[in-house]
């Protein structure tokens, strides 16, 4: 069964007096445990599409089913709960919480979103940090580690909830080539180990090469 | 370890969302109390870390709250001490807590009318009621009169209270402390007079001197009687504060009163906090008693009606109230300012935690708890500082003058009730002040917040 099914998905928003059609009736399906990339130039609708899949932005029309749930009808709270349960996020700027240590950053979704018992969540955090190669960096704060390490922590945070799907918007944009490849490699490894679907957006052709499924977007349409 | 969990989730992936959550949360459910305790602990931990992020700002805001709390608590304690001392002096050395007069006496009290005295039969009725009242500690029968005071070379007028010394000392126990010269024991004997300080100085009389009092009785006939100066009385603020004292028996002979009539009955209560209740009881018993013309016989008043100082006490209360309003304003503005800044500076972070699934209520709680902690911290330091300052003032034995009274001891105290009220006010206002910024944070659109630079 497909993990994501999108039918005639559109997104229109108003910018000033202008109506912008960011996504224009796209159809696609994504299977579980796949490694997918949305590519396209700036303004092509990559981020908008990822935001819709991630229940951060509701579509204007069309249907979108994620992990068997019609996400177009979720209210704000339900969407938050759904994200906390099924979706992990990796951001371009890492977006770690500066007042929390590496360990606490990874623990945050289990603690504040899923409310798991202490022992269970700490076991999961330790396992994930070890898996992303940050097992010995748990006590450090985000300002004490490098960009690549921050993104590893971000990947661990996205996966720690046993998310079925990880969305990464330009995850390598702020990293050098070598680190970018390491992060993409790590994401693939995690996919292989945990069966998590990774969807990322990029316009870097060398990163795109790592993807197993590529959707090309242009002016809000899939080519 | 993760794999079985993931497989379990895959199997349930198509179920209704709510059902999935119920099943999911049941699986890992923490016991009810522990669950919320842990959530609250985590929220408090994160809020504390966030406050530590901008230490200087947190410290400055807390200091502002501390200053406000200290100002209010010190004002309450000092003004309260001043108020309690003045009320104590007035009630315990002059007025008593409640007074009973014949109807209409108080309206013409300045002229000390002898024709408005309570008759012996009426006095007996009051006595019977007071003797049965368990809240009454003591009462004193007084005849108030005006007289001419002569030292044989000069004459002046004087207001006098004629009292039964034993009753008077029980009813107004601090009266003896106002005797600044002369014997205090027993207050006074028949044939003796306690002279107010002003008259003693003006008429140059000393302890042991003989003076003559000349008074007109209610029939208009004049009589004189010699008295020995037994003591000099310190004057205090308010009506009656400069009155002299003679024995009740002497007043009856001076005024040629044959009936056991009385001008006023001063009553002391065992517990002043029961003033309103006891007053209502006595008034309820005496009020309905009517004379032959179907008019009320008695009037009953609390000390508050008998002295202008009560208005000063009310003004102090009003000032305290306005100072509390200022404290509320300080807390409101400072916390709101800090929290608005905190939300503005952390928009991107709010977007992140919202995106990864933090529900709006929890985001709201995070910011409200920050405001709450600021309030708690500021209040705690403020209360500790205030208590230390109050203890220091008591240890330092600070004296001050009030009107003609010199060397009054400042003894500030603060009740647990006042501390709790101020602390609760500050904390509630701190929480209320954080609500608006917290609400804004909770309602923030995650995409807009994530795009914020």
Q: For the segment B267-310, what is each residue's pLDDT rounded down to a tens digit?
A: 999 998 899 999 999 999 998 888 888 889 999 999 988 888 88
Asked whether B161 and B245 are in contact (CB, 8 A), the reply is yes
- Compute the nearest-CA separation of A166 from chain B (Å): 11
* Residue A113 to residue B357, Cβ atoms within 8 A: yes
* Residue A68 to residue B3, Cβ atoms within 8 A: no
DSSP H helices in B182-308: 197-202, 248-254, 275-286, 303-306
% chain B with pLDDT above 70 = 90
Asked whether B422 and B327 are in contact (CB, 8 A), the reply is yes
Report the pLDDT value the prediction gives residue B123, as an integer from 0 to 100: 93
Q: In chain A, which residues have their Cβ closer than 8 Å to the Cβ of B14?
A: 1, 68
Residue B11 pLDDT exceeds 80: no
Residue A71 lies in domain:
4-222
Residue B89 pLDDT exceeds 60: yes
Chain B CB within 8 Å of residue A80 CB: yes
Instruction: Please return the burial class of B131, using the count of CB atoms within 10 Å of its CB with bins 0-12, 13-18 and 19+.
Output: exposed
* Residue B356 to residue A76, Cβ atoms within 8 A: no
Residue B381 pLDDT exceeds 60: yes
Q: Where are the beta strands (DSSP E) in B298-341?
A: 298-302
Chain A CB within 8 Å of residue B28 CB: yes
Write down the domain spans for chain B: 38-86+312-451, 104-296
pLDDT tens digits along A51-62: 999 999 999 999
* Residue B15 to residue A88, Cβ atoms within 8 A: no
Number of H helices, E strands in chain A: 7, 10
Q: CA–CA separation, A191 vs A105, rounded Å?
A: 21
Q: In chain A, which residues have their Cβ closer than 8 Å to the Cβ of B32?
A: none
Question: What CATH number is associated with residue A192?
Answer: 3.40.50.300
Report the pLDDT value the prediction gives residue B1, as an integer from 0 to 100: 40
Taking a contact as any Cβ pair under 8 Å apart, which residues of chain A between 130 and 189 contact chain B?
157-158, 161-162, 164
Report the pLDDT value the prediction gives residue A14, as an integer from 0 to 100: 86
In this prediction, residue A182 has a pLDDT band, given cuts at 50, 70 and 90, of confident
Chain B CB within 8 Å of residue A54 CB: yes
Residue among B438, B419, B429 nearest B331 (CA): B429
The pair of three-digit structure tokens given for residue A61, joined into one six-digit string: 């029309």
Of residues B23 and B90, more confidence is placed in B90
Residue among A18, A14, A82, A22 nearest A50 (CA): A22
pLDDT tens digits along A82-127: 999 999 999 989 999 999 999 999 999 998 888 888 889 899 999 9
Report the pLDDT value the prediction gives residue B8, as an integer from 0 to 100: 36
Residue B25 pLDDT exceeds 60: no
Report CA Rg, chain A: 17
Closest partner CB to A84 (pick from B1, B352, B357): B357
**Pairing, β A61-66 against β B98-102:** unpaired
- Compute the nearest-CA separation of A153 from chain B (Å): 14
Taking a contact as any Cβ pair under 8 Å apart, which residues of chain A between 98 and 127 contact chain B?
98-100, 108-109, 111-118, 120, 123-124, 127
Q: CA–CA separation, A59 vs A56, rounded Å?
A: 10
Report the pLDDT value the prediction gives residue B12, as an integer from 0 to 100: 40
Report the pLDDT value the prediction gives residue B159, as an integer from 0 to 100: 92
The pair of three-digit structure tokens given for residue B34, joined into one six-digit string: 């522990």
Taking a contact as any Cβ pair under 8 Å apart, which residues of chain B between 336 and 365 contact chain A?
348-349, 351-362
Residue B242 pLDDT exceeds 80: no
Q: In chain A, which residues have their Cβ closer than 8 Å to the Cβ of B37?
A: none
Chain B CB within 8 Å of residue A15 CB: no
Residue among A139, A160, A146, A23 nearest A90 (CA): A160
Asked whether B81 and B228 are in contact (CB, 8 A), the reply is no
* Residue A115 to residue B35, Cβ atoms within 8 A: yes
Average pLDDT of the residues in A191-219: 88
pLDDT tens digits along B47-79: 999 999 889 999 999 999 999 999 999 999 998
Residue among A1, A29, A163, A171 nearest A83 (CA): A163
């Amino acid at each position: 069964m497909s993990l994501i099914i999108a039918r005639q998905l559109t997104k229109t928003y108003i910018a000033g007096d202008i109506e912008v059609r960011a996504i224009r009736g796209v159809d696609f399906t994504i299977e579980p445990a796949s490694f997918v990339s949305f590519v396209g130039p700036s303004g092509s609708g990559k981020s908008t599409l990822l935001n819709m899949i991630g229940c951060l932005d509701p579509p204007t029309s069309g249907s979108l089913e994620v992990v068997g749930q019609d996400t177009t009808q979720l209210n704000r709270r339900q969407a938050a709960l759904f994200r906390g349960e099924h979706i992990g996020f990796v951001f371009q700027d890492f977006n770690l919480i500066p007042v929390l240590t590496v360990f606490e950053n990874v623990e945050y979704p289990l603690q504040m979103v899923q409310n798991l018992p202490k022992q269970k969540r700490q076991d999961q955090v330790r396992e994930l940090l070890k898996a992303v190669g940050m097992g010995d960096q748990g006590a450090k704060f985000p300002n004490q580690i490098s960009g690549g390490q921050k993104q590893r922590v971000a990947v661990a945070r996205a996966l720690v909830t046993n998310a079925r799907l990880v969305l990464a918007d330009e995850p390598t944009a702020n990293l050098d080539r070598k680190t970018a490849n390491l992060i993409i490699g790590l994401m693939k490894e995690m996919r292989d180990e945990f069966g998590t679907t990774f969807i990322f957006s990029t316009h870097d052709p060398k990163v795109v090469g790592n993807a197993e499924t590529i959707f090309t977007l242009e002016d809000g349409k899939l080519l | 370890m993760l794999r079985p969990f993931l497989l379990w989730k895959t199997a349930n992936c198509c179920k209704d969302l709510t059902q999935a959550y119920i099943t999911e949360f049941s699986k890992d459910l923490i016991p009810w109390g522990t669950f919320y305790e842990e959530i609250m602990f985590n929220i408090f931990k994160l809020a504390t870390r966030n406050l530590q992020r901008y230490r200087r700002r947190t410290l400055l805001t807390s200091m502002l709250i501390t200053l406000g709390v200290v100002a209010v608590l010190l004002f309450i304690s000092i003004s309260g001490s001043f108020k309690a001392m003045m009320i104590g002096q007035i009630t315990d050395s002059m007025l008593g807590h409640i007074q009973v007069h014949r109807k209409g006496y108080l309206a013409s009290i300045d002229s000390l009318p002898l024709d408005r005295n309570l008759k012996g039969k009426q006095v007996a009725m009051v006595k019977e009621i007071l003797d049965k009242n368990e809240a009454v500690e003591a009462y004193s029968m007084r005849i108030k009169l005006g007289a001419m005071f002569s030292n044989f070379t000069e004459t002046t007028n004087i207001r006098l209270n004629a009292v039964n010394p034993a009753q008077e000392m029980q009813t107004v126990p601090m009266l003896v402390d106002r005797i600044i010269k002369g014997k205090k024991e027993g207050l006074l004997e028949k044939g003796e007079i306690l002279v107010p300080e002003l008259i003693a100085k003006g008429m140059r009389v000393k302890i042991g001197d003989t003076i003559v009092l000349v008074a007109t009785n209610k029939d208009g006939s004049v009589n004189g009687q010699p008295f020995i100066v037994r003591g000099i009385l310190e004057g205090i603020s308010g009506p009656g504060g400069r009155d002299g004292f003679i024995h009740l028996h002497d007043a009856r002979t001076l005024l040629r009163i044959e009936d056991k009539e009385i001008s006023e009955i001063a009553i002391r209560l065992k517990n002043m906090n029961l003033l309103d209740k006891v007053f209502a009881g006595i008034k309820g018993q005496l009020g309905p008693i009517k004379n032959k013309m179907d008019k009320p016989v008695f009037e009953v008043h609390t000390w508050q009606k008998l002295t202008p100082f009560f208005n000063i006490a009310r003004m102090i209360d009003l000032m305290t109230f306005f100072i509390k309003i200022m404290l509320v304003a300080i807390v409101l503005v400072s916390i709101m300012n800090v929290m608005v800044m905190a939300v503005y500076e952390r928009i991107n972070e709010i977007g992140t935690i919202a995106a990864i699934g933090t529900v709006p209520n929890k985001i709201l709680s995070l910011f409200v708890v920050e405001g709450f902690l600021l309030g708690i911290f500021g209040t705690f330091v403020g209360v500790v500082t205030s208590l230390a300052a109050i203890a220091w003032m008591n240890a330092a034995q600070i004296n001050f003058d009030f009107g003609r009274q010199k060397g009054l001891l400042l003894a500030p105290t603060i009740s647990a009730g006042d501390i709790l009220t101020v602390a609760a006010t500050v904390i509630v206002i701190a929480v209320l002040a954080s609500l608006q910024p917290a609400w804004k944070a909770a309602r923030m659109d995650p995409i807009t917040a994530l795009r914020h630079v």
